[in-house]
Every structure is written in C-alpha cells, then in structure tokens.
Amino acid sequence: MKTMKKVMLSILILTGVTSAATAQRALTLDSCRQMALRHNHEVLIAQQDHAAAASLEKAAKTQMLPDISANGAFTYMNKLLRYDISTPELNLPVGSIAPDGSWTITPGDTDNTWVDLGNGTFAPLDAEGVPFDPTVNPEKLIISDWAYIPAIDTTLEIGQHHNFLGGVNITQPVYMGGKIRELVKVAGYTEAIAESGVAKAQADVVYHVDEAYYRVLQVQQKVVLATEAVSLLENIVEDVTNYKEEGLITQNEVMQAQVKLNEANLNLIKAQNGLKLSQMALNQAIGIELSQELILTDTLDNQIFRISDGNYAGQAMVHRPELHSLEQAMNIAESQVKIARSRYLPNVGVTASYLFVTPNIYDSFGEDFGSDWNVMVACNIPIFHWNDRKHTLDASKNESVAAQLRYDQACEMITLQVEQARQHCVESAETVVLSEKNLLQAKENLKIHRDNLEEGMCTVNDVLQAEVMWHKAYDQLIEARAQNRMNYSYLENVSGISLK
C-alpha cells in the first residue's frame, strides 16, 4: 500500500494533475516552436536586418530615376559693387558720314587748302604749303568745327544689400556603363541574403527548442525511473528485514539494501532538480516565466523515429539557407566584376535647372526677380589612369572565383554533415530496439532474483546487482529514445526541412 501511494504521487506530479497545473494549457512541440519563433531575439534581429535590406533595395532602385532638388540662398551685402565712370572735359572734331556709314573727315570739314595731285587724287596742304597724307599725319588737319563735351563726375553702383537666389534642378543619369543596374542587383542579392539569415535563425531556434523539449521529456522519464527505483528498493528492504527477523539473512545484508535505498532517494532528488532546470531552459527558449510549470502533451513512448529513403542531401542543396546566402554572394561577386568593367565606359547625364534671382541680373540689376532656365548634357570618358581600372577588375574577378570555391566547399561539407546525421538516426533507431530488449531481459532477471531470494537460492547482493542492471537498462532506454528524437530533429535541421 505504501508503494502504491508513492507511484500515484509521482504520476500526479509528472502529468501536472494539480490545481495549479490544470489552469494551464497544454503545450505541444509545435506550439513551443511557434512561441520560440515569436520570442527569440536572434530571429527578431534577423527579421529587422531583412527589413533594412529590403528598404535599401528600394532605395537602390530610385537611383535610376531623376533627382529633383530645390535650392535657395540669401546673402546680405554690406558694400555694393561700385564702378567710377567719370569722364574729363573733351573737344571732339566734327566730321561727316561716309557712304558706307562710317565716320570720316572730308575736305569740307577742314580749313586746309586741298590741291589736285593728279589722277583725281587730292591732298591737303600744311601750314608751310606742303601736301601731306591725312591718314599718316592727322594732326596737321585744321578742323573747322569742334564739339564740346563737359566733364562728368559719376559713380555706378551695381546690386543691392538683400540678395536672393533660388532654383529647381533635375538630374537624370542617361548611361553610367551599367553600374547603376548592377548596384540595384547587388541590393537585391543582399536582401536575399538577409532573408536567408531569417530562415537560418528560425531553423536554429526550432532545433534548440526541440532539444530543450525532448530534454524535459527525458528528465520526466528519469524522475519516473527514480521513483520506481525507490519503490522497488523499499520493497526489497521490507523483504530482507522480514528475512532477517526469520534468521535467513544477516544484518549486514539488510544494511546493504538500506544503502541502496538511500542512493535511490538521492537520485530521485537529483532527477527532480534536473526536471526543474530543464523546464526553466525550455521556458526561456519559448519566452515565458522561468518559474511557470509546463504541461507537455508528448511523451517518450514506444514510437521509434526512422528515416525514410528520401534524398536528404539533395534536399539540403535546395533548402539550406547557408547555400542560398553563398549563391547570392556569388551573384554579388559577379556584379562587382561588371561594375569594375563599367569604369572603362563613358558616363552620360542630363541636368535641367530653373533659376530665380534678385537683383535681376537679366534686367539691369533691378530689384525685381529675374528667372531663366538651362539644360546641360555632360559626358565623362575615362582614358588612362595608370591601370587602376585593370587592377580593380582583376581583384573583382579573383573574388568571384573565391566565392564559387566557397560555395563548392560548403556543398561538400553540408553533404558530409547530412550523411553523418543520417547515420546517427539509423544508429539511434537500432539502439532503441536493443535497449527495449535489454530492459525486458533485465526486468525478468530482477524478478527471478527476487523469487530466488524468497526461496533462499540467492543472496541480497545478487538481488541488488539485478536491480542495478534493471536501473541501468531502463536509463539507457530513456536516453536512447530521447537521442533518437533529437537525432531526427538534427537531421531535419541540417537537411533544411525543419521549417517545411
């Protein structure tokens, strides 16, 4: 009766059938996964990185569109621009208008005497009566009339103290050697890498939650085992005590059984503490209070997880986020080669502007606003820069080859990783089968030894040794079942299908 009470108490503790636990909802493995994915900081950080990369991709695409900007400026000028345009007193000769419209001096405009030199050529005479060429010696001409211009003392001021300048500019790249297109592609590849980072973080969280979940189930079973071991040893102690009173065994053998019972009670305490710690680890992973009790719907039952004949390595090549990231890294390296090659090509752009300015430079620097527009087409053609572009292009090509090699290496390592995980799954499934057989044999062996002890055909030490073998076989079965599930979860993780 005493043994039955302890077993029932253990069952109540493990199943959570208490007044506090019944108010809680049961948690399945899938619900724990979903809670962890919503709570895990690494996943949240990866999601923010992905959102940032997506925004940067959108920003990169805008580089292909016109850039429209408005500019404005105000300047206060303390001193204005001044120009001295004063003129002295002047006496200017009065001439005539030639048939071609030019100004000239005719014989009628002078007081000189003009003589015919022959052949229709006339020349003026100087004061000594000697003919001269007026184009060579114009100072000898005696002008009949003079125009008098008085002196002018004037200063010209340009501008004003308050100056405003504003305008609207539109710049459109026409041809940049393809670098803008490749930069947009690089932004897209970077966004894809960030998306793979989210998938990688989620897959890791799922695997770690699986580990924590199965660890709780494993320790729960070990608490059950420790409880059964205590009950079994209590029965053995009770039996050997009766045998000792009947004189069938010695006190020393009774003490051996009591020592084993004490060890079993200590193991039960350790198992219960381990259960609390494992539950805390799971609570932390799924984002709930560490002290909150859990009710897990799953158990480490007789089900054995066996792998199918599917191509796990092939699935890993398709679904592993690390390979997706390396593929995008190869694409980025190839775009970098094209960007380096574009430095050999010309760049063409168009700029259009509309300008507002005061003082009005288009109307005598008046105080009103003046405006104008202009359009400019600019072209830059690279010619020579000491092979800088060639060296940069070579470096980009080397990086592209290195990216391909990193991808190939990762494929080989992932294939090996998947095959190792697959072999561990096969091994753990067989281990469960053998452990179940071993437990049945150990249980039967213990029963036989207890019966033999009752008949006086074996010693107490033989029974205790049989109990140790039973305990060890039971513990190995619990370990094997938990490891079988963990290995299968790990195979799903390395195959990239844990989220599928």
Residue 393 to residues 131, 389, 407, Cα–Cα distance (Å): 84, 6, 21
Domains of the chain: 2-39+177-345+384-495 (1.20.1600.10), 86-153 (no CATH)
- Indicate yes or no: pTM above 0.75: yes
Task: Check if the beta carbon of residue 167 is closer than 8 Å to that of residue 355.
Answer: yes
| Widest CA span in the chain | 181
How far, in Å, CA of 417 to CA of 319, rounded? Answer: 14
Residue 89 to residues 11, 103, 145, 147, Cα–Cα distance (Å): 127, 22, 17, 11
**Residues facing residue 96 across a β-bridge:** 104
**Residues facing residue 437 across a β-bridge:** none
Check whether 167 has a pLDDT greater than 50: yes
What pLDDT is stored for residue 12 in this prediction?
A: 43
Q: Is 362 helix (H, G, I), strand (E, B) or coil?
A: coil
Confidence of residue 4 (pLDDT cuts 50, 70, 90): very low
What pLDDT is stored for residue 25 in this prediction?
A: 60
Tokens of 356: 């507002």
What pLDDT is stored for residue 5 in this prediction?
A: 43
Tokens of 336: 């970098």
CA geometry: angle 57, 58, 59, nearest 5 deg: 90
Per-residue DSSP letter, 26: P
Find the mean pLDDT for residues 298-317: 85
Residue 377 to residues 179, 352, 381, Cα–Cα distance (Å): 19, 9, 13
Find the mean pLDDT for residues 332-339: 97
Share of the chain above pLDDT 70, in %: 95
How far, in Å, CA of 494 to CA of 204, rounded? Answer: 10
pLDDT tens readout for residues 33-86: 999 999 999 999 999 999 999 999 999 999 999 999 999 999 888 888 777 788
pLDDT tens readout for residues 386-435: 999 999 999 999 999 999 999 999 999 999 999 999 999 999 999 999 99
236, exposed or middle or buried, with CB in 10 Å at 0-12, 13-18, 19+? buried
Q: Is 312 helix (H, G, I), strand (E, B) or coil?
A: helix
Tokens of 436: 């179940």
Q: In the chain, count H helices and then E strands.
A: 9, 12
Q: Is 382 helix (H, G, I), strand (E, B) or coil?
A: coil
Question: When comparing pLDDT for 361 and 378, which is higher?
Answer: 378
> How does the average pLDDT of the chain come out, rounded?
89
Residue type, position 407, single letter: Y
What pLDDT is stored for residue 23 in this prediction?
A: 47
Find the mean pLDDT for residues 376-382: 94
pLDDT tens readout for residues 93-134: 888 888 888 888 888 888 888 888 877 788 888 888 888 888
pLDDT tens readout for residues 451-475: 998 887 888 899 999 999 999 999 9
Least confident of 20-29, 75-84, 266-275, 295-304: 20-29
E strands in 108-151: 114-118, 121-124, 146-149
Task: Check if the beta carbon of residue 68 is closer than 8 Å to that of residue 170.
Answer: yes
What pLDDT is stored for residue 474 in this prediction?
A: 96
Per-residue DSSP letter, 91: E
